[in-house]
């Protein structure tokens, strides 16, 4: 991969350095002088944005289906304008598609992006800590 390095003042080979903490996945630096070039976003952040734009109309339809006038997060109850900057309303499959859930309105709920990632973390936690023992009991 190549990019322009302002310190070397030319196109250079770059390397990707993973970052342990912070909102970014990794940073791209110049391979020759180590100059910082740009951030790489985390893959999960990119995914949420894609889902969001694909489902803008679906949020409306879920509200109509459930009989709500305006959308809000079904977990924390906050409306769009009550959410902190960088947080937005997303569509969540109540039963995940990969677990056999349907891609239909009845299996969808509205979650803000904070509650959405919380739910994802929680389901991973439950699977890791309780999924095993439940299987062992069988
Ligand atoms: Zn450089
Ligand atoms: Zn929420």
Quick: pLDDT tens for 24-38.
888 999 999 999 999
Q: Hey, is 8 helix, strand or coil?
A: coil
Ligand nearest to the CA of 113: 2
Give distance in angstroms: CA of 75 to centre of ligand 2.
5
Give distance in angstroms: CA of 44 to centre of ligand 1.
29
Give 96-138 pLDDT, tens digit per residue. 888 899 988 999 999 999 999 999 888 888 888 887 544 454 4
Give 59-99 pLDDT, tens digit per residue. 989 999 999 999 999 999 999 999 999 999 999 999 988 88
Ligand nearest to the CA of 111: 2
Q: What integer is the mean pLDDT of 29-50?
A: 80
Give distance in angstroms: CA of 9 to centre of ligand 1.
7
Encoding tokens for residue 81? 């304008």
The neighbourhood of ligand 1, an ion, using CB within 5 A, equals 5, 7-8, 30, 32-33, 35
How far, rounded to the nearest angstrom, does the alpha carbon of residue 64 sit from its chain's CA centroid?
25
- Tell me the pLDDT of the chain averaged across its residues: 85
**Relative orientation angle of helices 43-54 and 113-126, to the nearest 10 degrees:** 120
pLDDT at position 76? 97
Encoding tokens for residue 18? 């993973």
DSSP code string of 55-97? THHHHHHHHHHHT-SS-B-TTT--BGGGSPTT--EEEEESS-G
Give distance in angstroms: CA of 120 to centre of ligand 2.
13
- 80 near 65, Cβ under 8 Å? no
Per-domain residue ranges of the chain:
2-41, 44-137
What is the largest distance, in Å, between two alpha-carbon atoms of the chain?
64
| pTM value surpassing 0.75 | no
pLDDT at position 44? 65
Give distance in angstroms: CA of 26 to centre of ligand 1.
17
pLDDT at position 137? 45
């Amino acid at each position: 991969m190549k990019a322009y390095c302002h310190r070397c003042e030319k196109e250079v080979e770059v390397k990707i350095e993973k970052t342990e903490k912070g909102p970014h996945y990794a940073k791209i630096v110049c391979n020759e002088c180590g100059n910082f070039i740009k951030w790489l976003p985390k893959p999960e952040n990119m995914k949420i944005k894609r889902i969001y734009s694909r489902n803008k109309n679906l949020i409306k339809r879920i509200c109509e289906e459930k009989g709500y006038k305006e959308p809000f997060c079904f977990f924390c109850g906050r409306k769009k304008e009550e959410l902190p900057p960088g947080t937005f309303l997303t569509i969540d499959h109540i039963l995940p598609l990969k677990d056999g859930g349907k891609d239909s309105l009845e299996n969808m709920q509205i979650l803000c992006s904070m509650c959405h990632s919380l739910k994802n973390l929680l389901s991973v936690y439950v699977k890791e800590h309780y999924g095993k023992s439940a299987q062992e009991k069988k």
